[in-house]
Amino acid sequence: MFRKSAISACAAASLTIIPAQQASADLGDALVGAAVGGVVGGVIVDQVHKKKQAEARANTRRTTKTYNSGYKRKASYNSVQRQENRDVQTSLNHFNFPAGTPDGVFGRNTRSAMSSYQSFMGYPQTGQLTEFERTVLVNSYHRSIAGGAGTSEIIANSQYGQRGLLKHTQQEMAGGTSATVASYQAANVQAGTNPAFAAFSLPNFGKASDTSSIANHCNQVNLVTNTNGGYTKASDITDPAFALSEQFCLARIYAIAKSEDLSSKVTGISSSDMQAQCETLSPSFKDQISALSLIGRDEVISQTGAKVLSTGMSPAQLSNTANICLGVGYRTDNADVALASTLILVTLGQPAYGELLGHHLVNGFGTLQRNDLALQWYTSANDAIASGQPAVFAPTQVERPDLIQAAALKLDATQAPEAVTKSTATFSLPVFTAQ
């Protein structure tokens, strides 16, 4: 339309300027020239317009490319970080520290799982892993996945089951080069926490304590019991240690059943979160657990009593919590949680639970094997039942206390070493209230 108007205007101008004689002759040339000029002008305008459009598109592409390049670089960084986070979450879940879906984002569940992992390993509970703590966790996971005879042996011989691999890896790394220990100390100092390793080492010429699985032990004991046609009777004791193991495994079943019954009445907390909270008992009562192997019953109770009083919890809350955690400890093969829970119950005035501490000392689960100290706990538990307190395990088997006492008396006693130092560290306990 623009071109047609231009042609018409040029034609009109030609008619008014040139003589009439030439109009007829030159009209065709003028029209052709105007048309050509209009077309060429249109082409030039189009070319300029297209050039501008091309330049604009090029600028847009350059801008977009620059933006996308930056985004990709940023995305690449985030991708690496999120993959590392996913590795941590996957490793936590593998060792039964529930972190939720491995999405690479550290939310509340992951922070809680990391705190539980730190508590189990004896690290400061910050909810944020140092590089050393992360390396121990992830390396242990890959080691567990790879498997092999050596890994299987470590897990089978650990009282913590699969989690024992974490402890083993920690000890390997901590006991390796001094640079490894120094780097971990530096990381903790930088984070404002106390280093987990002392700046010295002791010679070690002894054999490690028995850390075999309680569950595996009871499976073997139950198999022999079934083969023998039933439990050992007081009049037929030929192997006192085995007779006590039978009663230990029976008590363990009762403890797990009671724990599960009480847990079902607690609302607002999952089973995995409950387990994670129970695991905080181990570091809180580590000194009292160690004292079991070294000093007499009365002094252990005295130490535990001071610890329990500092919690500010009511006896009913403590008893309910300890009963739940006792079963959790046995169900998850965590001897330390079971020992701490039992100590709380005995200290609260339920001495019949002391039978369990005797069993641990006889078998060496979470303690040294001390038959002499075990006898104190057995005797106290049986005396309490004889004085009228209800039995907490297999209450209908009235001959059971006599059997335990007879078997315990048959075991050889050894001399107890000196007492340990009390701990004054602050701590907190989980609280489970049944509805």
Same domain, 171 and 280: no
- Looking at residues 354-375, what average pLDDT do you find? 94
Given a cut of 90, whether residue 29 has pLDDT beyond it is no
Residues in Cβ contact with 357 at an 8 Å cutoff, skipping those fewer than 6 apart: 292, 339, 342, 343, 346, 374, 377
Number of structural domains (the chain) is 3
Q: How much is the mean pLDDT over the chain? A: 76
Q: Domain boundary at 158, 175, 190, which?
A: 190
Same domain, 326 and 388: yes
Which range has the top average pLDDT, 69-78, 155-164, 308-317, 323-332? Answer: 323-332
Confidence label for 187 from pLDDT (cuts 50, 70 and 90): very low
Q: Among 138-147, 163-172, 185-194, 310-319, name the one with the lowest average pLDDT.
A: 185-194
Q: Among 114-123, 164-173, 249-258, 415-424, name the one with the lowest average pLDDT.
A: 415-424
pLDDT tens readout for residues 302-311: 999 988 888 8
- Looking at residues 38-64, what average pLDDT do you find? 50
- pLDDT given at position 427: 54
Same domain, 126 and 183: yes
Which range has the top average pLDDT, 30-39, 44-53, 273-282? Answer: 273-282
Which range has the top average pLDDT, 140-154, 311-325, 421-435? Answer: 311-325
* Amino acid occupying residue 390: P
pTM above 0.85, yes or no: no
* Amino acid occupying residue 151: T
pLDDT tens readout for residues 193-242: 443 333 334 454 444 444 468 999 999 999 999 988 899 998 889 999 99
Confidence label for 378 from pLDDT (cuts 50, 70 and 90): very high
Same domain, 130 and 66: no
Same domain, 231 and 314: yes
Task: Calculate the alpha carbon distances from 267 to 169, 257, 264, 277, 435 in Å.
Answer: 36, 18, 8, 15, 7
Same domain, 221 and 175: no
Confidence label for 35 from pLDDT (cuts 50, 70 and 90): very low
Same domain, 56 and 119: no
**424 inside domain:** no
**332 inside domain:** yes
Given a cut of 60, whether residue 82 has pLDDT beyond it is yes
Cα 167 to chain centroid distance, Å, stands at 13
Same domain, 125 and 227: no
Same domain, 282 and 161: no
- pLDDT given at position 69: 40
- Looking at residues 50-58, what average pLDDT do you find? 60
Structural domain including 243 reads 214-410
* Stronger pLDDT, 126 or 422, i.e. the higher one: 126
Which range has the top average pLDDT, 45-59, 158-172, 302-316, 360-374? Answer: 360-374
* Stronger pLDDT, 428 or 317, i.e. the higher one: 317
Confidence label for 171 from pLDDT (cuts 50, 70 and 90): confident
Same domain, 275 and 406: yes
Same domain, 253 and 136: no
**428 inside domain:** no
**87 inside domain:** no
**230 inside domain:** yes
* Amino acid occupying residue 427: F
Confidence label for 152 from pLDDT (cuts 50, 70 and 90): confident
Residues in Cβ contact with 390 at an 8 Å cutoff, skipping those fewer than 6 apart: 352
* Stronger pLDDT, 396 or 206, i.e. the higher one: 396
**54 inside domain:** yes
**315 inside domain:** yes
CA distance 137 to 89: 10
Task: Calculate the alpha carbon distances from 23 to 19, 251, 292, 333 in Å.
Answer: 6, 126, 128, 115
**76 inside domain:** yes
Given a cut of 80, whether residue 2 has pLDDT beyond it is no
- pLDDT given at position 340: 95
Confidence label for 59 from pLDDT (cuts 50, 70 and 90): low
* Eight-state DSSP code of residue 334: -
- pLDDT given at position 76: 45
Same domain, 132 and 14: no
Q: Is 169 exposed, middle or buried (CB count within 10 Å of its CB: 0-12, 13-18, 19+)? A: buried
Give the helix ranges, DSSP H, for 100-177: 108-121, 131-146, 149-156, 164-174
